[in-house]
Structure 1
Amino acid sequence: MPVQLNHTIVSATDRDATAAFLVDVLGLEPAPVYGPFRVVTLANGVSLDVMRTTGEVTPQHYAFLVGEEEFDQIWGRIKSRGLPFWADPGHTRPGVINTNDGGRGLYWSAPDGHNLEIITVPYGG
C-alpha cells in the first residue's frame, strides 16, 4: 500500500467548539467523539482529530483542496460569519482571494489561531 495520510491531531483549548467551527465552515458532517477526540472527517477519508489541550496551542496550517462549488459555499460561510480572510498565508492581503496556479484560494483563522486554507488547484498546478 502506498503511504497515505490517515489523520492528524488538531490541538484546541475547546475541543467541541473547534470541531464545530471546522464542520460548520467547511460544510462537513458532525464530528463524533472517539476517546479524547472529536473526529472531523474529510471526503478523502483523512480526519482531523481535535483534542483538548490545557497548554498553549501552537498554531498549525491546514489546507483543504475543494471544488469550485465547494469553494464558493465555504467562502460564502466565511463572509456570512464576518470572518476575516486573506489571499496569502502571512495575512498581508486582507479581504481578497488568490488565483495561484490558475485556481482560487484563501486563508482564514480557526479558534486558537490555526491557519486554514482552501484551494481549488493544488500548488504547482
Structure 2
Amino acid sequence: MSIVLNHTIVPASDKQAAATFFAELMGLAVSAPSGPFAPVAVNDDLTLDFDDRADVAPGHYAFLVDDDTFDAVLHRLSTWPAVDYGSGVENGWDRRINHLGGGRGVYVRDPNGHSYELFTAVP
C-alpha cells in the first residue's frame, strides 16, 4: 500500500469561519462536525480538520489542481477584495499569479495567516 495523507488538523481562531473560508475558496463544502473538528473533504483521500486553538501558528498548505479549479478559484478571489493573494512570497500579495513549472500558481492568505498555494503543474 502506498502512503496517503488522510487528514491533518488546521489550527484556527474560529474553526467554523476558517473551514468556511477554505471550503468557499476551493468550491467545497464544510462537512458535519466530527468530534471537535469542522472538517472539509478535499478529495476522497484527504480531509482538513479545522480546530479552535488559542494560539495559531500560520501554516502552508499546497494543492496541485486542474485548470478548471484554478480558474474557479481565481474568479472567486477577484470578487473578494479583502482577501490577500499573489504570485509568490517574494512579491507579497500582488494579486497576480505565477507561471512556475510551466503552469500557473497563486498563494492565498486566510484570516488566520495560513498560506494556501494552488498550482497547475509541479515545479
The verdict on a shared fold, with TM-score over 0.5 as the criterion, is: yes
Q: Secondary structure at the match of 1:112?
A: coil
Question: Post-superposition shift, 1:86?
Answer: 1.0
Map 1:1-125 to 2 at 5 A: 1-54=1-54, 56-82=55-81, 83-92=83-92, 94-123=94-123
Q: For the Cα contact (< 8 Å) 2:4–2:45, is it kept in 1?
A: no
RMSD: 1.3
TM-score of the aligned structures, taking structure 2 as reference length: 0.92
Unaligned residue ranges in structure 1 (runs of 5+): none
Question: Post-superposition shift, 1:89?
Answer: 3.0
TM-score of the aligned structures, taking structure 1 as reference length: 0.91
Deviations 1:13-43 (A, max 9, x none): 1000000001111100233200000111112
Q: Secondary structure at the match of 1:28?
A: coil
Query: Are the structure 2 counterparts of residues 46 and 31 from structure 1 closer, same or farther at C-alpha, using a change threshold of 3 Å?
Result: same
Number of residue-to-residue matches in the alignment: 122
Query: Are the structure 2 counterparts of residues 90 and 10 from structure 1 closer, same or farther at C-alpha, using a change threshold of 3 Å?
Result: farther
Unaligned residue ranges in structure 2 (runs of 5+): none
Query: Are the structure 2 counterparts of residues 93 and 10 from structure 1 closer, same or farther at C-alpha, using a change threshold of 3 Å?
Result: closer
